[in-house]
Structure 1
Amino acid sequence: PRPAPPAGEPRPGLIKRFKNFCFNNMALVFLAYVCAAAVALEHMNDEPDFGTFIDTMYFIAITVTTVGYGDMSPKSDAGKIFVMVFIIVGVALAGVMMTKITDWMLEKQKNAVKRSEEKAKEMMQQDLAKLKQNLGARVSEAELARSTSSKKEAEGKSKVEANPIASALVVISIVVTLGAVVMGQLEGISFLDGCYWSIVTSTTVGYGDVTPKSADGRIFASFYAFITVGIMGWAVGQIASSAISTSVEAASHVEAFKLTPESLVQMGGEKGYVDQYDFAVAMMLAMGKATQEDFDLVANRFNELDVNHDKTLDAKDLLGQ
């Protein structure tokens, strides 16, 4: 007989698997929800604003993106009840989407911390290689090559990588200009009014004083609202990610300390040499794990406890005798 399969975690139930599928495929679920709502709203009676599928999709798009121009709305009691339920469910789905975006931003923060730590380690390796050379010690070719390649790689990254804030602003400018030009052609409005409409729509402010009237304009506005709201979210994410990376690098003090013979001699002080403790302090500073103020605070606390000033702590010191 065949041996029984190893016991493991029980297979999740159907409801849990359905929830996991919806969460992992939120974009697909959201699209299906929007299309189903549009079809249902179009077939409702006594709703003059939703006579065509184009008008219905336009209303749905402006609603789910929270732009809310106010130029179209349900008139019947059944339509109002349907829209109320539609908005509540849509807000719930939007909350899940925001959770996924928040998780993405947290992942960006973790990556920024990781990059900062890797940068600190690379700089420490470079400083150690230079220190060995300055002290006359032999440095292996592999170590020198690794130090040089790390430096060139860091310089290359700084040249190639574009400023994320500048990239976000450029993309936003292109999208706003595109919206203004297309709306000007479809609705016959000025370029200034087109830019005004684009920004009011993309930021979901939705004053409603400038809205599309033609079928082509509403089709474009439906797609534009979905796309540009997402782009605005991406732009905010880029700016936030850049701010997080900058704050992490500043907080890490990556470049606040350089491991050099001069710094080690300075840390040795009057005793004229560097012991294991001094070297450990130098490494912690070089890696950005602590600041000089942190070590000064520890030293001051040690001196307070060292009653007889013999640079050691014994029972008499700790008991205050």
Structure 2
Amino acid sequence: MPESPSTLSMWATISNQFNPRPPDDDEPQDWWFASTAIPLIAATTSPFANVMSVVALAMPWKSEMHYGQNDGEGNTLQVMLPDPTWCIAFNATSLAFGVIGNLFLLFNFTRSVRYIVALPASIILWSLATAILIGITSCVHIYASPVAPNQTYSQAYWYAVIAAVHYFILTVILMINMFGYFFGHYPQYFTLTDGQRTLILQTTAFGVWLLVGAPVFQKAIGISIAEALYFCDITILTLGFGDVTPKSAVGRGLVFPYAVIGIIILGLVVGSINKIIRDIQVTNLVPKRIERRREATIERSLTRDNERRKDKSVPVSQIAYRPKHTRRTPVISKITAFYRVSLGRTKAVVMREEKDRFDAMRAIQYESVVFRRWYRLILSLIAFGILWTCGALVFWALEDDLTYFHALYFGFCTLLTIGYGDITPKTNATKPFFVVWSLIAIPTMTSLISGMSDTVVSLFKRATSQVADWTVLPHSGKYRSFLTKFHPIAAYLEQREENKRVAQGFSVGPEEPEENQNGVPPCDDCPKQSLELANEKDPSDFQLAQQLAFAIQRTSRDAVKGHPKQYTYEEWVEFTRMIRFTDPSPEGTMLYEDEYGVLNWDWMGESSPMLASQTEPEWVLDRLCESLIRYISQAQKRAAGATDEDAPTLQKERDINYEA
């Protein structure tokens, strides 16, 4: 029967929404969480789902409790009851599907198998593993449940439940990733960095190490494989509760290599997580905040200038010329100082405007650093609170003789790896949950706390520095600068200074002229060196070349220091003069980046050095080296008698030789 026109129209509308991108597509991507975070989460956690499935298959799901008898570790003796044959067969099938699904995901990351083949295969296989585990756990609960009060579910049963939940979550998040691909938000491959791929390998190695240690300590200590996995977990996480310990010399000897290698792998995992979180902040979070703050500052500046332009009493020379801002054009005028002066604007006014933009961008830069530190601190506190309180809630529900306060105490000691051992998980349901929770919570918290220490240490250093400034190590003029904030005290100190100068025979009072010899009015807000650049005669090219060599030496030292330096505006003025004095372009032409290198930039624009991926010394060093190359090229051209028309061709040849 043919479909109705409305049905065909609906299918046509749906098909138009699908726009898969080719593998070699390099267009911008969105849906960052779906394209990057979801594959990373799936690949780093899927090995642990396989570990849970292995434990669920390796031991029976039911046990009989022999109350009054001890198992040697202080716990009630448990005797395992055999599982039905169909349960073991389906359990093995589920494990096979889960492992193969994980392999397809790894093949997808290495691009050994195409995305459109590997990702659906992982989704289907993990869906089958989830369905089988749900089916057999439900059937066991309905048709072969333990007989109370002596029989109960073993830890393997709860590991099967956890594995089913884990496979289901992996299936759902990978489906979200696949939908993003079909809707054209990113091409058909996982856009992961080298650090993220390294984390995947490290977590896989960590899961394998747990799986290797469990059967080894099962034989060495004489416990079940689930108890052995619990022992491996608390050993590598350095918890050391003491509820499960090796008694024989062989077991104690095996702890030496196992613990050392496991702790090293865990440290690598924590370091990779910390680096990825920091990279996310540096590449995504902080730049977006800087962009919003920059645009807001520019909009306020444009609004203020428009209001001043409407006010006829304000001279034209006091109004900043800025074109309309759009997403496709620079946010700050790229007009030359020559053109600004031609509009009646003096160099001093231009310098004041440049200084204001520099200060505004520096303030945004400082706010972004403060935001990054406090964001990491707040994120750490929120994550700690969620992992702590939610974990304690589950422990309180699973343990019969545990109050919520005691559960909070146990969770706190576990998250900080204190491990007193006065409270430990005892029931068959609590231990599997504890293993999963600790493997997620402790590495995450360790990484967040290590990043949070930057904020705490910075605040502590600033506080101790302030205390030292006011007490045992006061800086010169510290108290005087504080007292001068009060007008009566400032007037008294000023009068006292004048009386002292009169007694010594010096003149008193300012003698600043209204205009200097070049006809430029004084600028109170402009730095002294900035005014010198605007007012004084420029030094010769030879003198600037000498200064250029010294500046390259200085910035080279700044670039190799451990802490990136931020230059003052006065230093930037001097650097700018040494960068631009070799500008070969005709006067009145403004070049930003071509064969001559970067010559001009806007402090509040997208070309601002404060927005560069390099540190300020590295950025300045590149520009100074470009200026040195231009100076040598111009000297060579003058020596060879080349014409101005030959300059671009000669410059390109010299650039090629320089790169070679």
Q: TM-score, normalised by structure 2?
A: 0.30
Change (3 A) 1:244 1:204: closer
Alignment of 1:83-102 (within 5 A): 83-101=255-273
CA distance in 2, matches of 1:95, 1:84: 17
CA shift digits 1:186-238 (9 cap, x unpaired): 22211111000001011111110111111112112211211210231243255
Tell me which of 291, 297, 304 is aligned to 2:568.
Answer: 291
Change (3 A) 1:221 1:99: closer
CA distance in 2, matches of 1:246, 1:100: 25
Structure 1 match to 2:251:
79
How far is the alpha carbon of 1:128 from its aligned partner? 8.8
How far is the alpha carbon of 1:139 from its aligned partner? 2.6
SS at match of 1:141: coil
Code of the aligned partner of 1:167: L
SS at match of 1:290: coil
How far is the alpha carbon of 1:92 from its aligned partner? 2.7
Code of the aligned partner of 1:25: L
Tell me which of 387, 390, 396 is aligned to 1:184.
Answer: 396
Tell me which of 313, 324, 335 is aligned to 1:141.
Answer: 324
How far is the alpha carbon of 1:73 from its aligned partner? 0.8
> In the alignment, is the contact (CA less than 8 A) between 1:67 and 1:201 conserved in 2?
yes
Change (3 A) 1:128 1:180: closer
Alignment of 1:125-136 (within 5 A): 126=298, 135-136=318-319
How far is the alpha carbon of 1:101 from its aligned partner? 4.6
> In the alignment, is the contact (CA less than 8 A) between 1:267 and 1:274 conserved in 2?
no
The unaligned stretches of length 5 or more in structure 2 are 1-196, 310-316, 333-359, 461-522, 539-564, 573-660
> In the alignment, is the contact (CA less than 8 A) between 1:105 and 1:237 conserved in 2?
no
CA distance in 2, matches of 1:223, 1:110: 30
Alignment of 1:6-17 (within 5 A): none
Alignment of 1:236-275 (within 5 A): 236-237=449-450, 239-240=452-453, 263-264=525-526
CA distance in 2, matches of 1:63, 1:265: 62
CA distance in 2, matches of 1:146, 1:135: 20
SS at match of 1:210: coil
Code of the aligned partner of 1:85: P
Structure 1 position 30 matched with structure 2 position 206: yes
Structure 2 match to 1:214:
427
Change (3 A) 1:128 1:246: farther
CA distance in 2, matches of 1:68, 1:145: 60
Change (3 A) 1:184 1:24: closer
Structure 2 match to 1:198:
411
The unaligned stretches of length 5 or more in structure 1 are 1-20, 248-260, 278-287, 296-321
Q: TM-score, normalised by structure 1?
A: 0.57
How far is the alpha carbon of 1:267 from its aligned partner? 7.1
CA distance in 1, matches of 2:322, 2:239: 64
Tell me which of 236, 249, 253 is aligned to 1:64.
Answer: 236
Change (3 A) 1:222 1:276: farther
How far is the alpha carbon of 1:146 from its aligned partner? 2.9
Change (3 A) 1:265 1:60: closer
SS at match of 1:146: coil
How far is the alpha carbon of 1:185 from its aligned partner? 1.9
Tell me which of 195, 216, 233 is aligned to 1:40.
Answer: 216
Change (3 A) 1:146 1:86: same
Change (3 A) 1:273 1:219: closer
CA distance in 2, matches of 1:185, 1:108: 36
CA shift digits 1:147-183 (9 cap, x unpaired): 6xxx9xx8xx99x999442332222112211222221
CA distance in 2, matches of 1:276, 1:209: 80
How far is the alpha carbon of 1:99 from its aligned partner? 4.4
CA shift digits 1:242-271 (9 cap, x unpaired): 669999xxxxxxxxxxxxx863498776x8
- How many residue pairs align between the two structures? 242
Question: Rg bigger for which structure?
Answer: 2
Change (3 A) 1:274 1:195: farther
By relative contact order (CA 8 Å, sep 6+), the higher-ranking structure is 1
CA distance in 1, matches of 2:536, 2:278: 40
> In the alignment, is the contact (CA less than 8 A) between 1:212 and 1:218 conserved in 2?
yes
CA distance in 1, matches of 2:409, 2:537: 65
Code of the aligned partner of 1:179: G
SS at match of 1:222: helix
Change (3 A) 1:131 1:266: farther
Change (3 A) 1:244 1:24: farther
SS at match of 1:35: helix
Change (3 A) 1:275 1:205: farther
How far is the alpha carbon of 1:70 from its aligned partner? 1.2
CA distance in 1, matches of 2:273, 2:444: 13
Change (3 A) 1:228 1:272: closer
Name the structure with the higher helix share: 1
SS at match of 2:331: helix
> In the alignment, is the contact (CA less than 8 A) between 2:237 and 2:263 conserved in 1?
no
**CA-based RMSD:** 5.0
Structure 2 match to 1:12:
none
CA distance in 1, matches of 2:199, 2:233: 21
> In the alignment, is the contact (CA less than 8 A) between 1:59 and 1:72 conserved in 2?
yes
CA distance in 1, matches of 2:267, 2:246: 24
Change (3 A) 1:174 1:65: same
Code of the aligned partner of 2:386: I
Change (3 A) 1:115 1:201: same
